[in-house]
Structure 1
C-alpha cells in the first residue's frame, strides 16, 4: 500500500472531513499546489475563492469550495483551515 496523508478539512463552523488521502490539491495566493506524502512542511494562504481537492485511494476525489484560510503541511499530514467551506457540486469539480 502506498503512503497516505492524514488530512483534516476544518471550517470555522465545523470539521468537514478527516481521513487518509493520496494527494491534496489547493490553490494558494502563490499558485496551485499538490501535496503528496513526504512533502516539505509549509504554510500557505488559500486564494479566495478557491477549491480544495482531496484524492483518495481507488480514484475517489472529494472537492470543497473554500473561502479564506490556510493550508498547513507538517510531518503529521495536511490541515486546511478555512473561514468557510462546503462540498463542491460535481459540475464544479475539476
Structure 2
C-alpha cells in the first residue's frame, strides 16, 4: 500500500511532515486509524496521543496533542493541534 502523507502542525511550528504507514488520531468521537487512501474525513481532537506507525508492524511513535482537529483529504492527513510534544 502507498504511504500516507502526514503533517502535524501547531501555531508555533511544523512538528512532523513525513510519509508514514498509519496514524491513529485521538478524536472526540473515538480513535481513528488513518491509512493511505482513507475516505475524506474530519474530526476534532481530544487531548491524547497520536500514534504514528512509520511502517507496517512497527512500534508506534507517540506524540501528545491537545486541542485542534484532523482532516483527511486527497493530499493525506493533516493534524492542526493547539500544542504537540513528545
TM-score by length of 2: 0.92
- The runs of 5 or more residues in structure 2 that have no matched partner are none
Give the aligned length: 85
CA 1:60–1:20: 2 relative to 1, 3 Å: farther
- The runs of 5 or more residues in structure 1 that have no matched partner are 88-94
Is residue 53 of structure 1 aligned with residue 54 of structure 2? no
Give the aligned CA root-mean-square deviation in angstroms.
1.2
**CA drift at 1:29:** 0.8
The equivalent residue for 1:23 is 22
**CA drift at 1:61:** 2.6
Secondary structure at 1:35 match in 2: strand
Q: Distance in 2 between matches of 1:72 and 1:38?
A: 13
Q: Distance in 2 between matches of 1:34 and 1:70?
A: 15
